[in-house]
Structure 1
Amino acid sequence: MNRREFSSHLLLGLSAVAFSARIAARSGPGGVEQGNRLPLTKARNVVMVHGLFADGSSWSEVIPRLQAKGLNVTSVQNPLTTLPEAVDACRRVLDRQDGPTVLVGHSFSGMIVTEAGVHPKVSALVYVAARAPDAGEDYTALAKKYPTPPASKGIVFDGDEGRLTEEAFLRDFAGDLPRERALALYAVQEPFKKALLTGKTTNAAWRQKPSFYAVSTQDRTIDPDLERFMAKRMNAQTIELASSHVSTISHSQEIAELILRAAG
């Protein structure tokens, strides 16, 4: 074989390897979809924010997995009062980080990640079955384009405070968890204020930061196709998990791996 033939075979081989890698990324473990990549900065800090019907302990299965890899992890206690107050709580935690930080949001806190994610210390964003509005977008109007998720019917109000009934929590929020585990999560459910739901983001951090998204294909709290739409719109590196809304608990290994990827 002469040099020209060798070079041609080498290029063909490298092209085949690259193509196989792309296919593996799309259909391999976790069903990873690459999306359009922005440069990643290596991060040693992770800040997590919980959504509605939960508190900071909703990350309890993911945190030890990240700490075991040497990452500094903080779970924000979202006040669930108004969007500006929730964003401020997140920013205060971000201010305390000592370098590049991956900001992770579950469920409603995707609103917080989208707004606070422009913070200079945030190196990447991870959305876990989370809202991901554009700047100034009416998320409620966007969600109405998709079927109403069953959990919405289980929200009850005591005056200004909203929460999920036990039945809806077990069936529609944490449906793939053992009953005992789901009941423990229900016991720490933090009520939210009605005013929280009226807030709109003024930033869309996913337009300027590398973004990752975990879709829950069995979600009964946010419609899975809405999750897919938001992930595709932000060109996020995406995985799909056969999970209820609380993949942070039922699929903590996969969520931890996605965060580690975002941390470079």
Structure 2
Amino acid sequence: MRNILSIFILSFLLVPWAQALVPTDHTIVLVHGAFADATASWSRVTTMLQERGFKVVAVQNPLTSFADDVAATERALANVKGPVVLVGHSWGGFVITQAGSKPNVHALVYVAAFAPSEGQSVLDLTKDYPASPGFGQLVIDSFGYGTLTEMGMKKYFAQDLPRKTTSLMFATQIPTAATSFAEKATIASWKTKPSWYVVAETDHMIQPALQKAMASKIGATTTAYPGSHVIMQSQPLRVVNAILAAAGVDK
């Protein structure tokens, strides 16, 4: 009787962990946005996915042009064996819309992200909406690259993160070619791939109304939560849950 009880208790303790650590056949490829980098953007999401047994690749966008960022993502996709869930934050949504047509991409996840149609640029997507306050804190240097001011980072980009974190994000942000926002998508991969969208309802960089309109346009499975533009940093589980759904895995 004691042996049976011991086996039952051991099974109870081990099964949840075993389920959490069973590798899935999907690789999650994460694409960050403008004024950011892969590490700061995706560290919490990456850790949570790895704990669940996923292989994760976080693309480091050069942010030098639309074509360069798409090429970086396509290189990452080419090096992955098996199916991919392709995830884009902010400007990264523009990138995955173009790169997501690759045959190994099985699903797209947009996180407070741009989702263009063919022939649309970021400027096209935003022109019918009020200017977001965060973009008022954008400084363009003499080389044509933009960065956010410290106030822009702390008050508008990531207002729900600790000041210590936003100070680091301000110092390590990657300057972004301003011309990228006028470049137009030529592929809309959401037309052929199932899509998910996480709306950040207190976003000061991309209007939440625009996010909801884009999610509706692409027919995405949509969730919406109060959160800043970097909701994947402040509420990573919300984003992980959308990725799990896209990968066909129970939460």
TM-score by length of 1: 0.83
Q: Supply the distance in 2 between the matched residues of 1:168 and 1:241 (Cα, whole angstroms).
A: 21
Identify the match of residue 33 of structure 2 among 51, 67, 71: 51
Q: Which residue in 2 is equivalent to 1:158?
A: 141
Q: Which residue in 2 is equivalent to 1:208?
A: 192
Pairwise CA RMSD: 1.0
Contact 1:43 1:123 in 2 (8 A): no
Matched positions, count? 223
* 1:194 Cα offset (Å): 2.3
Contact 1:136 1:200 in 2 (8 A): yes
Q: Which residue in 2 is equivalent to 1:27?
A: none
- Pair 1:238 & 2:222 matched: yes
SS of residue paired to 1:61: helix
Q: Which residue in 2 is equivalent to 1:75?
A: 58
* 1:139 Cα offset (Å): 3.1
For structure 1, the residue ranges without an aligned partner over 5 or more in a row are 1-41
* 1:152 Cα offset (Å): 0.9
SS of residue paired to 2:44: coil
Identify the match of residue 172 of structure 1 among 136, 153, 156: 156
In the TM superposition, what are the counterparts of 1:113-152 in structure 2 within 5 Å?
113-152=96-135
Q: Supply the distance in 2 between the matched residues of 1:151 and 1:192 (Cα, whole angstroms).
A: 15
Q: Which residue in 1 is equivalent to 2:210?
A: 226
Q: Supply the distance in 1 between the matched residues of 2:214 and 2:107 (Cα, whole angstroms).
A: 16
Tell me which amino acid in the other structure corresponds to 1:68. E
SS of residue paired to 2:134: helix
Deviations, residues 203-255 of structure 1 (Å, cap 9, x unaligned) = 00011101000000000000000000000111100110110000010010111
* 1:141 Cα offset (Å): 2.4
Contact 1:173 1:221 in 2 (8 A): yes
Q: Supply the distance in 2 between the matched residues of 1:109 and 1:71 (Cα, whole angstroms).
A: 21
> Among the aligned pairs, what percent are the same residue?
43
* 1:186 Cα offset (Å): 1.6
Tell me which amino acid in the other structure corresponds to 2:233. I
Tell me which amino acid in the other structure corresponds to 2:122. Y
Q: Which residue in 1 is equivalent to 2:231?
A: 247
Tell me which amino acid in the other structure corresponds to 2:53. G
Higher RCO (C-alpha 8 Å, min separation 6) = 1
* 1:142 Cα offset (Å): 2.6
Q: Supply the distance in 1 between the matched residues of 2:225 and 2:168 (Cα, whole angstroms).
A: 23
Q: Supply the distance in 2 between the matched residues of 1:103 and 1:183 (Cα, whole angstroms).
A: 29
Tell me which amino acid in the other structure corresponds to 1:131. F
Q: Supply the distance in 1 between the matched residues of 2:206 and 2:238 (Cα, whole angstroms).
A: 19
For structure 2, the residue ranges without an aligned partner over 5 or more in a row are 1-23
Contact 1:43 1:102 in 2 (8 A): no
Deviations, residues 82-141 of structure 1 (Å, cap 9, x unaligned) = 111110110000001111000000001111010000011100000000000001123312
Contact 1:82 1:195 in 2 (8 A): yes
Identify the match of residue 183 of structure 1 among 154, 167, 180: 167
TM-score by length of 2: 0.87
Q: Which residue in 2 is equivalent to 1:257?
A: 241
Q: Supply the distance in 1 between the matched residues of 2:172 and 2:184 (Cα, whole angstroms).
A: 27
